[in-house]
Chain A
Amino acid sequence: MTTQSFASAKNLPADCRDAVHALLLATADTKMFLGFHYGEWTFGTPALEAGIAACCMSQDEFGHLRLLQACLTTQFGDAPSALLEKRALHEFANIACLDRPLVKWADFVAINLFADGALTVILTGLQKSAFVPVANFVDKMVEEEKHHVRNAQGWFRTLATYNSQTRAVLEEASRWALSPTLEWLGPANHAMAQTLEQHGVINASWETLRGRFLDWVGAFAHDQKISIGLEQQNGRWTPTFPLDFSQWTPQVRRCTPSQPDEKILYHLRGSKNAVFKLSE
């Protein structure tokens, strides 16, 4: 790993530049969908306080999205419209469990723990990044994400211990959310991840970051006696279900072709109110 820092994207080596761009775009996409789902669950939560927390987390995610999109625009020259309005559905690189509306509260808890949790582990990997524009904002994101993790763990524990029905629904939702989250994280090692580590953009190998996530959620779910499809092998938590990364690319981070629901994009793009959009 080099100790050189990069004040702007134009200083990055070409292969590293592409890798940083792909990672930031996938992170921004996931935060956009998380923000949408959290915002939708301002209402209909099991408690008023849970709705306030969901709304607050939605604001955090959209704030983070704003920072990431500003970085993509100023550092990489992405046109703002190309990030959302003019992008084909199959190009979005969000975690696939966020593609559809969340049906039940346990789904919310599952995406909060697994999807948001995985993203937070990756954000911690970007702390003290050699790519200065990211290093400048990532600490604030990680600080705010601590509350998201606490919310996820608090609700996971609550549903895991309340009664057999909430336990069963939580287990089902966890398995539904974990697999696409691991798809998004990708294989333990790939060329783009090696480039990111080699140039000090991330502070650990991708395998280490992925392992941190698995060890955290594996041990946590095990403590709550919830079976999520992970087992411990030689002290490390690994999936018991198959993941075929033969078609996986760092651009969309999915093992099989899939895309978000057009209705969600309709809301995120503000299509209904397009007439009120001010020109740039």
Chain B
Amino acid sequence: MTIVTTSPEAGGEFRSLSSNAWEDLTNGLQRTDLWGRIGWLDVKRRYRRTKIGPFWSSMTLGVYVVSVGLVGSGLWNQNIATYLPYLTSGMLVWTLLSMIIVEACTLFVLGHALFRNVRFEYSVLAYALVWRNFIVFLHNVVVYAAVVLLLNVGLLNFATLLAIPGLLLVLMNGVWIALLVGLVCLRFRDVQPLVQTAIQIAMLVTPIFWTPASLKGHYQFFFVQLNPMFRLIDVVRTPLMGEVPTLVSYVSAIAITAVGWAVTYYTFRAFRKRIAYWS
């Protein structure tokens, strides 16, 4: 047996094996190849051997918003040309956000087969999860495009472009949500059903089917103004409706991002090393 020393410098420096949370997050982000691939393959697997692939998700969303939209516009006496785009854009963001939260529950629980056999940055799994849901989101945008083009082209203007920074905010939140929820659900296995129930209720108490203006007084303050879900949806939905979101919404969304990341970073730093043991 021979020992080939083709690149004597390949070894690099003599370093400690343990890494910290910051390195995990940043090095993980740089491994775009890896999380891009994991996320993409996840989508591909889910729709493998179907003819229209992820557009099944768009189909579901489309049928959903049209049927609920028709009932809703009658129920709340709304103009279908504004209500349907409102519902569609709200559902678009809601689907992205809620799927990230629900799937985050199994982030580390299902990922253990990987990280108990190879070492890689745990954050890679979170980036992959957000990326995978973003891919599905892009397919869902078709529904919005169809609804707006058919019913109310007038909604599209320069303000619509503000949806892009809004979406970036949502995605940044998606990563911390994935990490935090993933970590908590790994340690406490009964949080997962709790989250699923909470999400269903959140969908009803957040202005998605109904408009913020339809609530008054304390209710409005509690379910709309204080609702973080509303803020995150608002920074994307309002531009999609051709208007500029309020400053309050932007400040709130940025504050949610900052606080969420701070809590997550602290938790991740404290418990990251336990992940392999908890799984």
Chain B associates with chain A: no
